[in-house]
Structures are given as structure tokens and as C-alpha cells.
Chains A and B, each alone.
Chain A
Amino acid sequence: MKIVVTYQWALDPQEASVAADGKVDFSRAKAVVSDYDAVAIEVARGLATAAGATLVGVSVGGAAAAQAVATKAALSRGLDEALVVADADNAGTLNTAAVIAAAVQSLGDVALVVTGDASLDSGSKMLAATLGGTLGWATITDALGVAFDGSTLTAERVLPEGVQKVALAAPAVVAVASDAAKAKAPGMKDILAAGKKPVTVKSTADLGVALASEGTVTATAKLSGPARQQIAIDTKDPAAAAAQLVSALRAAGVLD
């Protein structure tokens, strides 16, 4: 039995800077395994160990995703092996789901696909649902407390009306919430072992997927948030701080 976890090799937003005109500058950012996907790998590692399954990481991206440093970074987080499709950079959610679905089918004997909460680039949060639809598998998103006994996946979702407990029969797709686990930094032995784990690189053609046009972005309107007022409030005395905050909000016209 295999469990697949998807991961993205993407520029680290924590290393990006925002210019005065609002443009995000990634020129000094390094690529990392997305923070969302590091959480997904952490959860999936636990599920695979408990179920005695092989954990396969699947990544869809450009040539950078197939670089040794990228696969080792993902493998060091606990994958048993990796499958990378490296000719589908910024392919869009529908295409990415189609490629992952084909990759999952090519692997065979996959009981679960675990994904992160969102992608780092488009952040659409649509991948898991689209993938589940493509595979025809039951799907759950925003999952916490995920467990898998080899045939049934159980999870919890925090909804406005309360905590929902869900059970799905495998095969299934689960998108874990960003706080579903705390991703641990890979240990030194994990890093050294990563280079010895198997990696397969495939093209979309190998998987028999033809990327479809998903439309093009014709314009992006600039988000205009309110200008920051740079008001510092000393929080040593909470009562005085609250009073200062209220008066600052009144002065700004937020409160009557």
C-alpha cells in the first residue's frame, strides 16, 4: 500500500520583500518545500508509518523541482521515495490536478493522497477538491486530527457550528489544515539519507497528460489597503494601552 503526499518546491515567501509600490520581490528568495506541504508531509509520514504504507512524494513543477537539492529537501522530511513531474511549471490548478491524478494512477496501490492546505503561488485551495474529482475519490479539506487504519480515514474539521468528525473509505484525498501538525526540521541523518532514496522524474507525456489552456491573466488590480499610521502603543499597562487604542481608532474615524 502507498500513501502519496503532494509537495511544491517554491520560492520562500518569508524571504521575499515588499517594495513601497506593493510589488513583491522574490529576487533574493530561495526555493523551499512549501510550509503548507511540510505540514502535509509530517502528517502523511505519521499515517504511512501507522498503516505500514510506503510514503511517496509527488511534485509537479518546472525543472527546478527535479534538482537534487529539491528532491533531497523533500525526502529529508520523511518521504520514502519521490516522483517529480518537471515540465508543468505554473500549470494551473486543473492541469496540476490532472498530472497528479495520472501520477497517482501510474504508481498503483495508492490508498490516500495527502495535500497541504494551499499552494504558495496561486493559493487557490482548490487542488485537493479538483484532484478528488479527477480521481473520483472521496475528499476532505481543512482536516485536523487525521488518522488512517489502512482502510478508513478519520479526521476533524473546525466549522462555525462546531467540530465535525468525518470518516472516509479509502481511496481518498485529504487536504490537511496548516496547523494539523508542526513540521519538524529534518535531522542531520535524514539529510544524509535523503540522497540515497529513490527519485523518479517523469514528463507529462510519460503520464499521458496533455496540459490544457486554463486562460491567461489579463490584468491584476492593485489592492489598496489603508495607509499604515505607524502608531506605537506601549502595552506594559493593559488598561492604558486599551484606552490609547480606542482614542487612536476614534481619531482615525474607525470608532464613533
Chain B
Amino acid sequence: MPYTLTDEQELTRSSVREFAEAEVKPLAAEIDKTHRPPLETIPKLGEMGLMGMLIPEEYGGSAMDTVSYNIAIEELSRCCATTGVLVEAHSSLCTWPIVHFGTEEQKQKYLPALASGEAAGGFGLTEPGAGSDAGATKTTAVRDGDEFVLNGQKVFITNGGFAKTFVVMARSTDAPGVKGVSAFIVERDTPGFTIGEPEDKLGIRGSSTTPLFFSDCRIPAANLLGQEGQGFKIAMMTLDGGRTGIAAQAVGIAQGAFEAAKEYAKQRVQFGHPIAELQAIQWMIADMAVDIEAGRLLVYQAADLEDRGQPHGHASAMAKLFCGEMATRVAGKAIQVHGGLGYTTSYPVERAYRDAKITEIYEGTSEIQRLVIARTELR
């Protein structure tokens, strides 16, 4: 397993870091405070090629390898977890399934706008009664001539407030459980499709998380993504990659908090010395460093397996599980290093702590990741 990054991967890191420091970090605290998605950043992300990372060049994408993609998500999240998940959900959950399961017509119709950032993407799987249990999907898609008629509701949809293109899972056949679920591309302005009010969340507060409502929403039959009944498989394969992306987001959140903690520890003087000279602080710094590096390597491993066309669901579940819990752990220690000030909004570590928590939950909870891992291990 090669853990030496290529030149392009190294340059992706330095370039995205340069971009994120200049364009993403200055907004991070404000969008968190005002619960506002950073819409002005999306065209800049598009110009940088960061909205089309998983899209082939012929459709306007930058066609990056998966390791580079995850490095980019990490670097965006290091400055702003909200921007990280905006790009991650757009790329992993919307563009990826269209690239891999879309028809040529679907790719030509949707991918160029998604790659440029003219359109952001969303992914509708979760429902009030179907979170981790995707087989319990109740949203229906009934064939009527050249159309499907969608009825139902999705919840907790990232980018819901502004995305123009959604990949939505709905039950289109009478087949029981997961076999009856199909995937569809739904455009935002379709009559019968409405977006609900955004959730008021603990963290990633700038991220627009909304319900989606379908009421006799008619979409062309040509918007079926993949084959009928293939929806669950598409969703699970999509989430395999998505989970690595969330793990990368978690690494970025942890890295940002870690750097803040190191800087503070060197500056904060107590008992006549910077607290960085105290062993109690040094041990926390050392533990944080090891935690982050271990998580980063799990992300690289899962991404590298995907790049080589190998099964990566097991590795991505491991990365997601470890990195999600690691980010919360590291951000907690970063607050501890800051003492009372770390508990205030004057320093970015309290935001990192709130942002980190969701990485243990969305795109499969830690408990689901343990289930996935244990099933493979006990096979």
C-alpha cells in the first residue's frame, strides 16, 4: 500500500489549502453564527475545479483520483466543515452516482452544470421512518406513461436549500424491502417538489439541511438512474465512497482544531512558561497527532482501494467509524488545551467540537459502520 502521495496529490493539498485559507476560512465563523450556506463560495469552488472532482473531463469535470478528492475535502474542512460537507455531499452523493449509473444523455444534461458549480447537488435517501434502514423507504415512484409520479418525504438532506439536482431514492415496484427501491434524478423546479425549512443544528450550522416533499411530482421516465430496483445497490455503492469523504471531513475538522490547540499552547503562559512546556499538554498534543495521522491513513487506504477498483466498503466503513469518533475526541482535547476560552466562540475549537459530532452520525452512524465491519470480519 503506497502512502507516498503523488506530486499531483501534494499539489492538490497545497493548492486547496491556499484557496481555503483565502476564500473559505474568512466566512467560517460567520456562516456558523448566522446559519447561512456559503453560496458565494460555490462559483469559486467551481472555478477551482472543486465541484467537479469526481466528474470526467468530457463533462467539464476535473477527473481527480479519489485520494486527491479526499485530500481536497480534508483541506476545505480544516477551515470550514460546512464548506467541506457542501462539496462532499454534492460530489460523492450526487455527481458520483450520475457518473457511474447515468445514461449518456443524463451525463450530458446534468454533469456540466454540476461540475462548474452552476448547479449544486443533493441526495435524498433518508426518510422519517427510513434512516439507517434504507429498505423501509416509503417514498413512491409510480410509472405513468413516460413519467414517474413521486409521492413522499425525505429528511436531513444536505444542500437541500439550494441544490438544483437531486438523486432521490423511491419505491417503484412491489418488490419487498430493498429490491423495490429505484434511483431518480429530480430537478429542483419540478412541480410537486418542494423544499422544507432548514434544520437548526448543533454543528455544520451553515450547511443547509432540509426535508424534501414530493406531492404528485411528475418526472420524465428518462430520469430513472440505473435500472428499476437497482436503487438500494446504487445508494450503498454511493455511500461507500461518501463515507470515505465524511472520514476526510472529520480528519480536516480534527486537523484544524489540532493546529489551533498547538498555537494556543505555545502562546498561553501560565506559571511563567507557555503551557506547551507542561507534560499534561504535551501528552494531549501527542495523542491528537497520532489520532489524526491514523485516521488520515485509513482515509488514504479506502480512497486508494477505490482508485484501484478494489472493494472498499469495508475500508471506508473503518475510516468513517474511526475518523468520526477521532474528530470528536481531538476537538474535545483542543477545547481542553484552550481551557475556558476554548468553550467560548472567541476561538474556533468549540465550533470544531460541534461540527465533529455529525461525522459520527451522517452517511451511516458509527453503529452502522460497526455493523458493516463486523459482518465482513465474521464472514
- Contact surface of A with B, Cβ cutoff 8 Å: 30, 32, 68-69, 72-73, 76, 185-192, 194-195, 230
CB distance from A167 to the nearest CB of B (A): 33
Interface centre among B10, B11, B63 (most CB of A within 10 A): B11
- Give Cα A76 to B8, complex, Å: 10
Closest B residue to A30 by beta carbon equals B14
Question: Which segment, of B48-56, B171-179, B359-367, faces chain A?
Answer: B48-56
Tell me if B140 is interfacial: C-beta within 8 Å of chain A. no
List the one stretch of B16-24, B294-302, B313-321 in contact with chain A: B16-24
Q: A185-B16, A185-B22, A189-B49 are in contact. Are A195 and B63 (CB under 8 A)?
A: no
- Judged by a CB distance under 8 angstroms, whether B144 is at the interface is no
Tell me if B377 is interfacial: C-beta within 8 Å of chain A.
Answer: no
CB < 8 Å: which of B16, B50, B63 contacts A192? B63
Whole-angstrom distance between the alpha carbons of A73 and B48 in the complex? Answer: 15
The residues in B between 1 and 41 inclusive whose CB is less than 8 angstroms from any CB of A are: 7-8, 10-12, 14-16, 18-19, 22
> Is there contact, CB below 8 Å, between A185 and B48?
yes
Main secondary structure of the interface of A (DSSP, over half): helix
Nearest 8 pairs between A and B by C-beta? A188-B49, A188-B62, A185-B18, A185-B19, A69-B7, A187-B49, A187-B48, A185-B15
Label chain B's interface by main secondary structure: helix
- The reply to whether A69 and B10 form a contact with Cβ atoms under 8 Å apart is yes
Q: Does B64 contact A (CB under 8 A)?
A: yes
Contacts of B8 in A (CB 8 A): 72, 191-192, 195
> Pick the contact of B7 from A186, A190, A195 — CB < 8 Å?
A195
Which of B15, B47, B52 contacts A191 (CB under 8 A)? B15
> Contacts of A69 on B, CB cut-off 8 Å?
7, 10-11
Which one of B10, B53, B269 has the highest number of Cβ atoms from chain A below 10 Å of its Cβ? Answer: B10
Pull 8 A–B residue pairs with CB atoms less than 8 Å apart, ordered by A.
A185-B19, A186-B15, A187-B47, A187-B48, A188-B48, A189-B57, A192-B8, A192-B62
Q: Is the CB of B48 within 8 A of A230?
A: no
Give B104 Cβ to nearest chain A Cβ, in Å. Answer: 22
Partner of A188, one of B10, B50, B269: B50
Closest-by-CB residue of A relative to B5 is A69
Tell me which of B12, B14, B53, B68 contacts A32 (CB under 8 A): B14
- Bound-complex Cα distance A105 to B11 (A): 31
Indicate if the CB atoms of B53 and A188 lie closer than 8 Å. Answer: yes
Q: How far is the CA of A76 from the CA of B68 in the complex (A)?
A: 15
Given A185-B19, A192-B63, output 5 extra A-B contacts at Cβ < 8 Å.
Answer: A32-B14, A185-B18, A187-B15, A189-B49, A189-B57
A187 near B10 with CB under 8 A, answer no
